[in-house]
Structure 1
Amino acid sequence: MIRIGMLHHRKHPDSVIKAYAYAAVAMAEGTEMIYFSPGGINLKTKTISGFEYKDGEWVEGTFPFPHVIYNTGSPEKLAKSNDVIQELKKNIPFTTHSIGNKMSVYRRLKEAGEFTQYLIPSEVVRGTNHFFSFLDAYRKIVFKPVNGRKGQSIILIERVGNDFRLLINTDDRLYSYDELKEFVSTHIGEEDFLVQPYINCRTKDGSVFDFRLHVQKNGEGKWVITSIYPRIGAPGTIVSNINSGGSMNYLVPFLKQEYGDDYFNIKGYLEKFSLLLARHMDKLQKDRYSETIDELGIDVALDDLGKIWIYEVNWRPGCPPTFYLEMDVVKNTIQYCIYLAKKNSRIKK
């Protein structure tokens, strides 16, 4: 029987809500799933101490190495055990690998060239002079952390006469040149920030929005669309992320409302783009690192001219907290795990 390992930084699966869903689907697919953390790995005996879901509860035990590993959890926390995880990777296929932060992805796509036209010009702020030079060039920009998550700390900045307007969450205020210089200097002294020109992507009623394109590999190792949905920002904000007060909608009703008869063509445009970019990112990962990826959350804007712009590409996106898509995500993951295990020479097809 194929044994799937679910690697997470937390020691017990009771603290990971989605663990049960993966165990249940694995069982339904005729496989077993073992939940474990880095501390349970024994390289000498080639065993793991972890948990298996049996008879309605998690049962602790020691198991042979899994045939494939679904690596989830916090990359930063798992990095503390990088040495043992790297040893594990030498013999066991992992479902995915990190593609890096915003600027890493930006540079990789820019160097490859194929998707350059969809990239928003982005630069890591090297100092206040560099910041003001970028602001002078674009007049209205976004200032955000390179390693930011969930739409946090994204700031809109634009010149208004001799002053500068800053929109931070719903706080809208004017800064003088000296105040803004001090503000930027303080922030870039604490962590890396990047700047981008602002892309106007708003609904008819003026709310900001973007699209999340969620794609995964299926049981045949092929990229498929799990979901595409719009995320609409809370009133008075420039952030559409759900964790920052935004909301979601179903794709087709939203497109019909905003684009009328063009909805079908735009839907097809988003679908085609999501699969093309996923395959491209997968190829870049293989060519550069000999690694694979199995899932991406691609955030894009659609400007006034109907052109796609890439905001961000996430290699371990969160599942939409609605639309009943949780099980679709889990099913694709488990079936892809089975595909990888069978592909590995230790398992006969």
Structure 2
Amino acid sequence: MVTIGYISNRAWREAGIPQPRLNALLAEGALQGAQVVMLDASSVDIAAGWIGTDVWDGAGWTRRQAPLPDVVIMLGSPTHPWQQAVYDWVARTRPLIKDKGPNKAQLKALLTGGPCERYLIPDAEIDPARPAASIREFLSAHGGGVIKRANGQRGIGLLFITKDADDWSLHDGKAPFRGSLEAVVDRVVAAISGRLQYRAYVIQRFIRSMASDGRVVDFRIHVQRRADGAFHLTRAFVRLGEAGMMLANTSQGGYQGAIDTFLAQRRVRPGAEIQLEAIDAALSMARLYDATAETPLSELGIDLL
């Protein structure tokens, strides 16, 4: 069994990993036949070759002094000499992948004008100089939107705006807020205005993608470069959101399922046809980005509705 370790510049319990994501990591590891462990960069003896390792045994976490696992995923960059020493040790003794996938703006620019452009969801960057106006204009044109960081991941911090019969609704993971378009936009701007000064945000058209039982649904396609240098499918699966949720991300409490079983319920197009197209699209995007990236891409995950 392959062991995968996560290491941060802080003790992992203080690193801000949301509990749903931690649960998802452990579950995905078990599903893929791998063991996920958490590493403590502040508890290490490089000369002796061990690092503090927390292992989940089903009932709780157990601390061990263990060698570096087969794969080490480093969260963040070192900021102190002792952290740099740990980083250098990992880099010397384990294969190091400097993976930097495209953010949403880069992916849009890359796919625009090519055969994969049809998979892009219409979006626009929120102008930090006039955020309320740019959000209001987009919502008026598209009838709903999803606001997210341009480099956002794992469904964190998403704001969903939908249009009802008489008013608009804002869903931010708390109790929905309903009101006029102006009231909803003012509430959104108040939530992101500070971060807009140093982080790009985009607004994307809201697409209602739902399973027959009313839960939100999407497809996740993982592709990875293998020893032959080419990209291959790692796994394709369907994600279903928890009842009442607006997103299906596993890290936010969503569920995973077999894509072929789910697609067998489709009636408009054959499920096998949809699955093949989704996989081909993900492979095409990976090859395209890899051909233009500064450093070789090792893997890519694509969400499709």
TM-score by length of 1: 0.60
- SS in structure 2 at match of 1:80: coil
Query: Counterpart of 1:172 in structure 2: which amino acid?
Result: P
What is residue 103 of structure 2 aligned with on the other side?
Answer: 101
Q: Which of 163, 168, 175 is 1:164 aligned to?
A: 168
Q: Is the 8 A contact 2:162 2:206 kept in 1?
A: no
**By how many angstroms is 1:100 displaced?**
4.6
Look up the match of 2:207. Answer: 199
Flag the 1:50–1:102 CA change in 2: closer, same or farther, 3 A: farther
1:240 aligns with 2:242: no
Match of 2:123 in 1: 122
Identity of counterpart residues, as a percentage?
21
Residue in 1 that maps onto 2:282: 274
The SS at the match of 2:204 is strand
SS of 2:228's equivalent? coil
1:257, 1:60 → 2: CA distance? 47
The within-5 A match list for 1:1-349 is 8-9=7-8, 72-75=73-76, 78=77, 80=79, 94-107=96-109, 109-110=110-111, 113-126=114-127, 127-160=131-164, 163-169=167-173, 171-192=175-196, 193-259=201-267, 262-285=270-293, 289=294, 291-301=295-305
- 3-state SS of 2:265 partner: helix
Measured in 2, the distance between the counterparts of 1:162 and 1:207 equals 24
**Cα separation, partners in 2 of 1:80 and 1:103, compared to 1, 3 Å:** farther
Structure 1 residues 139 and 79, CA, compared in 2 at 3 Å: closer, same or farther? farther
Q: Deviations over 1:100-143 (max 9, x none)?
A: 53334333x24674532221122221110111111111112112
Residues 51 and 221 from structure 1, CA distance in 2 versus in 1: closer, same or farther, beyond 3 angstroms?
A: farther
| Matching residue's letter, 1:102 | K
What SS does the aligned partner of 1:216 have? Answer: strand
Deviations 1:166-205 (A, max 9, x none): 2333733312344223212212313243211112322223
CA RMSD of aligned residues (A): 4.4
Instruction: Tell me by how many angstroms 1:254 deviates.
Output: 0.8
Cα contact 2:11–2:42 (8 A) shared by 1: no
Q: Does the CA-based 8 Å contact 1:223-1:279 persist in structure 2?
A: yes
Rounded to whole Å, the distance in 1 between the matches of 2:135 and 2:268 is 40
Which residue type is aligned with residue 146 of structure 1? A
- What letter is aligned with 1:169? G
Report if the CA contact (8 A) 1:96-1:295 is conserved.
Answer: no
* In 1: Cα distance, 2:160 partner to 2:193 partner: 19
Distance 1:253 1:132, change over 3 A: same
CA distance in structure 2 between the partners assigned to 1:59 and 1:159 by the alignment: 55
Contact 1:209 1:233 in 2 (8 A): yes
1:310-342 CA distance string (max 9 Å, x none): xxxxxxxxxxxxxxxxxxxxxxxxxxxxxxxxx
Higher relative contact order (CA 8 A, sep 6+): 1
Partner of 1:330: none
Deviations along 1:235-275, one digit per CA (max 9) or x if unpaired, are: 22220112223211111111112348711211211222222
Distance in structure 2 (CA, Å) of the matches to 1:153 and 1:7:
23
Q: What are structure 1's unaligned runs of at least 5 residues?
A: 26-34, 64-68, 302-349
**Contact kept in structure 1, 2:210 and 2:217, CA below 8 Å:** yes
Length-normalised TM-score, structure 2: 0.68
Question: How many equivalent pairs are there?
Answer: 267
Q: Distance in 1 between matches of 2:66 and 2:236?
A: 38
Larger radius of gyration: 1
Q: Report how far residue 162 of structure 1 moved.
A: 6.2
Shift in alpha-carbon separation, 1:140–1:271, aligned structure 2, 3 A: same
1:6–1:71 CA contact under 8 A, matched in 2: yes
Distance 2:166 2:52 in 1: 64
Assess if the C-alpha contact under 8 Å between 1:158 and 1:165 holds in 2: yes
Q: Counterpart of 2:79 in structure 1: which amino acid?
A: K
Structure 2 distance, partners of 1:283, 1:132, is 37
Aligned to 2:58: none
> Whose helix fraction is larger, Structure 1's or Structure 2's?
1
